[in-house]
Amino acid sequence: MSDDEGPMPMPMPAPKRRRTMDPAHELALLDELPKGEMYEKSYMHRDVVSHVAFSASTQFLITASADGHVKFWRKMVTGIEFVKHYKAHLQAIVGLAVSPDGLRLATTSLDGTIKFFDILGFDMVHMITLDFVPSICCWAYMKGQIVPKIVIAEKDAATLRIYHAEATSNALLHTLDKLHMAPVTVLGYNPVLNCVISGDRKGMLEYWSPDTYAVPAKAKNGISFKFKSETDLYELAKNKTYACSIDIAINGKDFVVTGEDCCIRVFRCATGKLRRKYDESLAIFEDAQAAGSLQLDAIDFGRRVAVEKEVIASPQVSNCIFDESGHFILFPTLLGIKIINIETNKLARVLGKVENTERFMHLCLFQGTPNVNTQFQKHASTQAAKKLVMSDPKAKNETDPTVFTTAFKKSRFYCFSSREPVEDDGTEDSGRDVFNEKPTLDAGHIATESTSSKLGSRAVIHTTMGDIFLTLYPNETPRTVENFCTHARNGYYDNCLFHRVIKNFMIQTGDPLGDGTGGESIWGGEFEDEFNRNLRHDRPYTLSMANAGPRTNGSQFFITTVPTPWLDNKHTVFGRVETGKDTVSNIENIEVDEYDKPVEDIRIINIDIL
84: closest CA among 390, 493, 381, 411?
Answer: 381
Q: How many CA atoms lie within 13 A of 60 on its CB side?
A: 25
d(CA 458, CA 470): 6
Q: Which amino acid is at 350?
A: V
- The C-alpha torsion from 331 through 332 and 336 to 338, rounded to 10°, is -10
CB-CB contact of 232 with 273 (8 Å): yes
Q: How many CA atoms lie within 13 A of 103 on its CB side?
A: 8
CA-to-CA dists, residue 607 to 245, 457, 459, 566, angstroms: 33, 13, 7, 28
Residues in the chain: 610
> Would you name the residues annotated as active-site residues?
500, 505, 508, 547, 558, 567, 571
Q: CA-based angle 58:64:66, to the nearest 5?
A: 170
d(CA 231, CA 394): 49
497: closest CA among 571, 560, 590?
Answer: 590
| DSSP assignments along 56-124, one per residue | TTTTEEEEEETTSEEEEEEE-SSSEEEEEEEE--SS-EEEEEE-TTSSEEEEEETTSEEEEEETTTTEE
Q: Which amino acid is at 344?
A: T
Residue 326: CB atoms within 10 A of its CB come to: 17
* Partners of 608 in the β-ladder: 460
Which secondary structure element, helix H or strand E, spans residue 303, and what is its range?
Answer: helix 298-313
d(CA 65, CA 48): 5
Residue 398: CB atoms within 10 A of its CB come to: 11
* Residue 497 DSSP code: B
- The C-alpha torsion from 212 through 217 and 221 to 224, rounded to 10°, is 150
132: closest CA among 149, 156, 150?
Answer: 156
Q: CA-based angle 606:94:39, to the nearest 5?
A: 105
556: closest CA among 501, 595, 499, 503?
Answer: 499
255: closest CA among 246, 263, 264?
Answer: 246
CB crowding 304-319: b at 16 or more within 10 Å, else e: beebbeebeeeebebb
276: closest CA among 316, 237, 326?
Answer: 326
582: closest CA among 557, 608, 561?
Answer: 561
